[in-house]
Amino acid sequence: MAEPGLKTERVLVTGAAGFVGFHLASRLLAAGAAVHGLDNLNAYYDPRLKEARLAEIGAHPRLAFSRLDLTDYNALKMLFAEFRPEAVVHLAAQAGVRYSLVNPRAYASANVDGFLSVLEACRAHPVRHLVYASSSSVYGANSKVPYHEDDPVLAPVSLYAATKRANELMAQTYAHLYGIPCSGVRFFTVYGPWGRPDMAYYSFTKAILEGRTIDVFNHGEMQRDFTYVDDVVEALVRLIDLPPVIGATGGAHTIYNVGNHTPITLERFISVIEAALGREASKRYLPMQPGEVLATYADVERLARITGFAPRTTIEEGIARFVAWYRTYHRF
């Protein structure tokens, strides 16, 4: 039985060896849920980190894991039939804005075709709730801040963002046609221990410790709503038991921002990392890169109203925890 406060007892987590998926699976197991994780362990970044995350969870009587690519629909459908999840948290995706400029087909395959497999599996084996990861990137060239879920999202500036917006439209369609309750979660720059090496805070930490120069885009004037991973997981766990109800359009589909609602400049972010490391960074200032946006800033009123929770970890707390983990994991 799941602990009081978590009614859902069987949860399928896609991307379970990934950054957020690993943290979520750990939290769900601690809460008493049965978890089936799946991941294809691809080589976008070092698979040994993904394997280390799985090893950190360890053998657990309520955890099962399948190495599976979501585009293998028949295998996914069999997994649904055997596990019979009450809820699905879909986190598997090809991540990264800049990489989408280099390898766009990976995004069409993983993010669009892979998500279609998840939707079809939920259609074949109905679930109480499908929670899926979207991204603040969908706000694209919007200049109004803070971003609200009802703001227009018509101008993505990267293929990654376009695939995440496509996911939202696909989920809305399946909610309308087949009554699948869906919640899309727009993440705002998630960071923390066990994070992704391609993210700026991870690569900055590595470079500073190794005495290398870091590239600071837009001359450090970009703003990001950095969100600590434990806050993201808390939001996801609360949302699992709160499927949307059928609305006026006939579909049960809701979008939530999950961000720290406190944007900070890249320059200040680097200074927090420097303080945690006790070292100054050598910086090379560069212009804005293609596919990037100037600022992200989450309006989280909807999340707070529905779940009673809003992210609250300060950047100083979160970076200190990340740096402590980094030094331990990398023995630095």
Q: What are phi and psi of 239, to 5 degrees?
A: -70, -30
Among 107, 132, 139, 160, the one annotated catalytic: 160
Residue indicated by tokens 């309750």:
181
Nearest-angstrom CA–CA distance, 175 and 164: 17
Cβ–Cβ under 8 Å, residues 21 and 95: no
Characterize the bridge pairing of strands 10-14 and 227-228: unpaired
The CA distance from 117 to 40, in Å, is 14
CB 20 within 8 A of CB 194: no
99 noted as active-site residue: no
**Alpha-carbon separation of residue 71 from 5, 8, 36, 106 (angstroms):** 34, 26, 18, 11
Would you please indicate which residues are annotated as catalytic (active-site) residues? 160
